A and B are shown apart, each in its own frame.
Chain A
């Protein structure tokens, strides 16, 4: 009797170790069936703090920035050299003076703003004035503490502009309304509604590539030229602060 009892105690399922081994086997089967998804997700969670991507991304972006900066500087130098050769205005954006608008006449015939910086602050006649959106006009008068800016909408304003899509120069003329008129002295110019207009790279008065406006409508009634109404990007009637490019 005693012998029989000893034999039954030694069966494999009576051993805890075997059950653990079986559980582990089942777990491996589950991992195999789920194609390791549980395992991968778990790994995802525990390895997250040690991912190399974040750091590498920063390094990568920094190096791209540096590369762009170097390229930009090279292009700037190149541009300045070429503009010097062509006797054109320089496109330096470094010397910007901020000023507040203290008087605003944006309706009727007189379209001008007066800003709170004058000759005392080194502002000069003819300096372009930009606001949020793009070009507003040019300084046409300075006193010690103030400067008057003739807006692009003034009947006295005439500025050379560039239509980027068709690579054509034109003349932007103020008419005393909120939309100045672009004149293209070519009947074949393929100007369309929505075309972007910026200051002309060939202009001797303004730095190149300052955003000005978008073509709102095209008029083809003239025999020798095309005209278009321009919707200005900078709104002088609501702008309180401007920047002057010296």
Chain B
């Protein structure tokens, strides 16, 4: 069982994301806003596994999150696919300090990208009626999410990256030993 957990740590963490997304812990957020949780998982995963895996798992993550949210007209998939592909191109930096700040900046950018794509969908859907009224709350939402995601990313992403690397290392060693 332990071996299974160690080997599939990233997938198990992936399953936990919708739970945190639904749980929506208020004590972590600010004024009801929350960081964009999926990026905390997607960044370390894509950095380790590359762009193609990032893209595919971004799509999977989007599918799961779309199924737990009620918005039928809007989807999170495009944003997460883009982020997954982009994050895969980023190389792991050995400097701890630079690495930490980088996670914050990258996740903030990813959150901005996802938020903007989501906002564009809302805008496109309500093109005929009330665009002006949507602008201010939407920009507020995007900025709050960008700020919170950037704030928490250095803490969470670095830990997840360590865990995923450790898990991957373990399975790689075992595969090597088996061969």
Give residues in A with beta carbon < 8 Å to B.
103-110, 112, 114, 140-141, 148, 150, 154-156, 173, 175-178, 181, 183, 221, 227, 237
Q: A150-B70, A155-B122 are in contact. Are A107 and B29 (CB under 8 A)?
A: yes
Q: How far is the CA of A154 from the CA of B72 in the complex (A)?
A: 12
Q: Which residues of A contact B72 (CB under 8 A)?
A: 156
For the complex of A and B, 5 pairs with smallest distance between CB atoms: A107-B32, A177-B137, A107-B33, A103-B22, A110-B69
Q: A103-B22, A176-B137, A176-B138 are in contact. Are A154 and B31 (CB under 8 A)?
A: no
CB distance from B66 to the nearest CB of A (A): 10
A108 with B34: CB separation less than 8 A = yes
26 contacts between A and B (CB under 8 A): A103-B24, A106-B32, A107-B24, A107-B29, A107-B32, A107-B34, A107-B141, A108-B34, A108-B144, A109-B71, A109-B115, A109-B141, A154-B70, A155-B71, A155-B122, A155-B126, A156-B72, A156-B73, A156-B74, A173-B130, A175-B133, A176-B138, A183-B130, A221-B132, A237-B26, A237-B32
B27 interfacial contact with A, CB 8 Å: no
Q: How far is the CA of A107 from the CA of B133 in the complex (A)?
A: 17
Q: Which residues of B contact A176 (CB under 8 A)?
A: 122, 134, 137-138, 141
Residue on A nearest B118 in the bound complex, by CB: A109
Give residues in B with beta carbon < 8 Å to A.
21-24, 26, 29, 31-34, 69-74, 115, 118, 122, 126, 129-130, 132-134, 136-138, 140-141, 144-145
User: Interface centre among A108, A148, A173, by most B CB within 10 Å?
Assistant: A108
Q: Which residues of B contact A173 (CB under 8 A)?
A: 129-130, 133
User: Interface centre among B21, B31, B34, B69, by most A CB within 10 Å?
Assistant: B69
Q: A110-B71, A154-B71, A155-B122 are in contact. Are A104 and B133 (CB under 8 A)?
A: no
